[in-house]
Amino acid sequence: MAKRSKFKPKTGGKAHNRAAEKINPFEIHVNRSKHDVLGRKRKEDRGLPGIARAKALKKREKTLLQEYKTRHKSNLFVDRRIGENDPTLDPEKKIALRLAAVKTKHANRKSMFNLNDDDFLTHGGKTLDDDNIDDRMAFSDDEDDQVLDAQFVKERHFAGGFLTKRETGDEEKPKSKKEWIDEIIAESKKKKAEAKKDKEEQYEAVSKLDANLNTFLMMMSGKTIKDEDKLEAKKNCEFRDYDTLVKELGFDRTGKAKTSSKLKTPEELIKEEKEKLLALEADRVRRMKGEPEPSKHTSRSADDLDDGLIFTEDDRFHLSYKDGAMLEEEKGNDDNDPENDNKSMDEEGAEDEETENEDEGVDSDLEDGDDLEDDESDKYSDIFDEESGDEDNDNENDTQETEKTKDHSVAGDKRKEIMEAARKEIPYTFEVPQEYDAFWALLENRSPKEVSVILERTIACNHPSLGAQNKDKFEDLCTYILQTLNVLTEESGDSPVRGVPPMSYVDVLIPHLYTVTQACSSGVANSFRQFVFLKVAGVLFPSSDYIHPVMTPVITFLSQLLGQAKVNTKRDITAALFTSYLLYEYLSMSKRFVPELPNALNGLLSLSIEAKKKVKLPINPPFKRFGAASSLLLLENNIEEETLPKLSLASLNDKGKEITDNFKVNVLSKTVKLLHCLCDCWSKLPSVKALMEPTAKILEAICLDHYPSSLKEMITGLKSAIDCLPGPKQALVKEAKKPKSLKMYEPAIERVIEGMKKSVGTKDFQEKQKLLQKLKRERKGAKREIQRDTAFLARQQLMETLQSDAERKRKVNQIMAGLQSQESDHKKLKLKKF
């Protein structure tokens, strides 16, 4: 076949090697080269045509001839017995090999349905082994196959069987096959018996328990469980173990993520919290600049703190501790247990409910008794936190945590008393009412604290993580809360309890509104477009974003208020000041610019100037230089040093109060203070000096004779601050553009190698040429092979014909010879007769 034989001797036998060395020189055929190149080795300068031909012939005899011979046969017999064709194997080895083959075949059939041999099915973070499923009742007997221990099967059946045994333990005499199989059978029978015994024992125990439960239920049917019973049950230690066990189990179910986070030290937790806040802050800064989101990563919101908690089926979602107190996680988890149990039961369908209630009723009741203490204390600690939070405002999450623990220890006793009173009144689960009136009825006659508790429980019971339909409920709830806010803050707003000012409820509502917003931001955002609660909006949504569906309208509305609302009464002044403060708060983070704000503040300043002096002052609409309300805040009497009270939101609702001197001073000082803040806030703007010039002029015109000295100081401070503002240092320059580079073509680099044929064309073309050439060569070779095959077959056929001819000739001769001898005999006989 191969024309050129290889000169390298094969590494196989020595005889062959020697034969190759002793090549007959007459068999070598030398190809003459036309141009001899020195130092170049050519592969094809010599060949061994005789040997090559013989090789090819041999190969054809092995393949083509065989086929030729069996050309008329439709089937053929192949001996595939293991080791049958190999004469070197001894019979025992042969048997072992065959046995191994059989076992693997079986194993394959079984493992066909095993998806993953290494991985086990898991549930709740634990493997589903027989060890873990203790309570599984396998009463049926048709699972006998599985009685054999997996380990046993693995050892005995597959792991090499006695072959491996023999290799490892050399001294022992190998067991025969029969012994081996006997052993296997005995082992499996033993295991089977053991399993059966276990099963029976388990069954007995369960049926006993069932019977006990029935009698117990009969016994308890007439009784209702009271609080005293619960307390007693709590003291009774018998169930403590069971309770803790249940808790542990429940805790285990939440998965590994929680346990790992629980192991962290408080410092680590604080650090983590800080990192989270940092990341959120970075995101906020990005939104402030109006940059697009950096990646396709879609964060649910800026406040998606809860690690995908919403998406897991975690029933123990608790709200009040969302960020801070991981340490109290366990407690918090338990708090909501009774409610959640009820909730989950509701969802499981009506049929199961009855029976399950019977089963679990006892347990959960006992649990309740246990948990009541923690439950109450936690809920109320929240309220206490709120109160303390009111006092010191910058209550960061980090500090909150420590405070909470303090609260627990210090105020514990007092709280219990309050708890006792309140617990009797407020139920634990609340449905979100269908109508606003029903919602209002819920809150009626409740103190602010109680309202807070009610709202918290409502939120906990109807959290969207407990079911998809709760999302709609949350949106409803949000509208209710906003509506309540609306009612509370109206001029004639009525309070749930008589005598308590309606405004005192506002603070209580805000945190809950926040929680609702966290859970379904888009719903709340939608309802915020309908009634713009200007301040609340800023609490719930980031004001610094470049563009935001809630905050942008709010800010434009605020600026419109400042730009157009006329100031004629005391209420107007307070409202204008409030709006200015609010706008400043929203701007302070992003340091953005609103012309209306300094305008309005200048106008407020100008209210305390005489009309005569105002002719040349830069006062812009809606404030007027002259008119009845143009000098509302002009001070006419001397004012002593006084403490200036905080302005109140509630005062926006009472109309037509007398403008006292104290109020005048208060407004002026607040305005000056805010202007000072604005100065600082906008100090980076290029034309801040021009912006503040009118303010400086107005300040000059204010007659300071009557004012207390502290206010005078404030005003001079503001003046100096305006004087110190930097003017523009440099004219505007456009950013230099990058020079545009000339269009370049790809450099044409050719590989030039001496002595080689220069190939023309692109790389693809060359590749194609190469392949075409190869194809041509291959085709040629194949053609030649086919010719040789035909020649071989023809020769074979000729040989067969010759052979059969010769045979025939021989037979004819034989017959003829026979006939001749017969004839001669006959003739001889005839001659004898005659």
Max CA distance (Å), the chain: 193
Among 192-200, 262-270, 336-344, 383-391, the segment contacting another protein (CB under 8 A):
383-391
Q: How far is CA 670 from CA 402, 645, 646, 675, 677, in A?
A: 35, 11, 10, 9, 10
Q: How far is the CB of 214 from another protein (least distance, A)?
A: 50
747: cis peptide before it, omega within 30°? no
Figure out which of the listed residues 75, 298, 492, 643 binds another protein, where binding follows CB under 8 A. 298
**Smaller CB separation from another protein, 253 or 591:** 591
Near another protein in 575-604, by CB under 8 A: 578, 581-582, 584-585, 587-589, 591-596, 598-599
Number of residues that bind another protein (CB under 8 A): 105
Sign (positive or negative) of CA dihedral 761, 762, 765, 770: positive
Q: Binding to another protein by residue 169, rule CB under 8 A?
A: no
Q: Binding to another protein by residue 308, rule CB under 8 A?
A: no
Rounded to the nearest 10 degrees, what angle do helices 470-489 and 506-519 cross at?
160
Figure out which of the listed residues 219, 350, 732, 744 binds another protein, where binding follows CB under 8 A. 732
Q: Which residue's entry shows tokens 């993520």?
A: 257
Helix (H) or strand (E) holding 123: strand 122-123
Figure out which of the listed residues 169, 618, 781, 818 binds another protein, where binding follows CB under 8 A. 618
Rounded-to-integer distance, Cα 668 and Cα 707, Å? 10
Q: How far is the CB of 390 from another protein (least distance, A)?
A: 6
Q: Binding to another protein by residue 627, rule CB under 8 A?
A: no
Helix (H) or strand (E) holding 604: helix 596-606
**Smaller CB separation from another protein, 118 or 735:** 735
Figure out which of the listed residues 432, 478, 525, 679 binds another protein, where binding follows CB under 8 A. 525
Near another protein in 115-144, by CB under 8 A: none
Q: Binding to another protein by residue 710, rule CB under 8 A?
A: no
Q: Binding to another protein by residue 720, rule CB under 8 A?
A: no
Among 8-16, 123-131, 250-258, 537-545, the segment contacting another protein (CB under 8 A):
537-545
Figure out which of the listed residues 364, 521, 579, 630 binds another protein, where binding follows CB under 8 A. 521
Q: Binding to another protein by residue 303, rule CB under 8 A?
A: yes
Amino acid making up residue 410: V
Q: How far is the CB of 430 from another protein (least distance, A)?
A: 21
Q: Binding to another protein by residue 560, rule CB under 8 A?
A: yes
Q: Binding to another protein by residue 395, rule CB under 8 A?
A: yes
Q: Binding to another protein by residue 539, rule CB under 8 A?
A: yes
Among 605-613, 685-693, 701-709, 816-824, the segment contacting another protein (CB under 8 A):
685-693
Near another protein in 229-258, by CB under 8 A: none
Near another protein in 268-297, by CB under 8 A: 277, 280, 284, 287, 290
Figure out which of the listed residues 76, 112, 115, 731 binds another protein, where binding follows CB under 8 A. 731
Helix (H) or strand (E) holding 29: strand 29-30
What does the DSSP assignment read for 187-238? HHHHHHHHHHHHHHHHHHHHHHHHHHHHHHHHHHTT----HHHHHHHHH-GG
Q: Binding to another protein by residue 650, rule CB under 8 A?
A: yes
Cα Rg, the chain, nearest whole Å: 50
Rounded-to-integer distance, Cα 587 and Cα 401, Å? 30
Q: Binding to another protein by residue 91, rule CB under 8 A?
A: no
Q: How far is CA 772 from CA 757, 768, 775, 784, in A?
A: 17, 6, 5, 18
**Smaller CB separation from another protein, 335 or 545:** 545
Q: How far is the CB of 484 from another protein (least distance, A)?
A: 13
Q: Binding to another protein by residue 500, rule CB under 8 A?
A: no
Figure out which of the listed residues 51, 647, 721, 793 binds another protein, where binding follows CB under 8 A. 647
C-beta separation of 291 from 338 below 8 A? no
Sign (positive or negative) of CA dihedral 803, 804, 805, 807: positive
Helix (H) or strand (E) holding 30: strand 29-30
122-123 and 46-47: which strand pairing? Answer: unpaired
The residues, ordered by sequence, that sit 6+ positions from 599 with a Cβ below 8 Å of its Cβ are: 562, 563, 620
Q: Binding to another protein by residue 735, rule CB under 8 A?
A: yes
Q: Binding to another protein by residue 516, rule CB under 8 A?
A: no
Q: How far is the CB of 323 from another protein (least distance, A)?
A: 7
Near another protein in 460-499, by CB under 8 A: none
Q: Binding to another protein by residue 717, rule CB under 8 A?
A: no
Rounded-to-integer distance, Cα 581 and Cα 595, Å? 14
C-beta separation of 42 from 61 below 8 A? no
Among 13-21, 670-678, 714-722, 781-789, the segment contacting another protein (CB under 8 A):
670-678
Q: Binding to another protein by residue 457, rule CB under 8 A?
A: no
Q: Binding to another protein by residue 657, rule CB under 8 A?
A: no
Rounded-to-integer distance, Cα 618 and Cα 514, Å? 42
**Smaller CB separation from another protein, 343 or 548:** 548
Q: Binding to another protein by residue 333, rule CB under 8 A?
A: no
Rounded-to-integer distance, Cα 561 and Cα 539, Å? 20
N-terminal to C-terminal alpha carbon distance within the chain: 72
Figure out which of the listed residues 3, 18, 226, 529 binds another protein, where binding follows CB under 8 A. 529
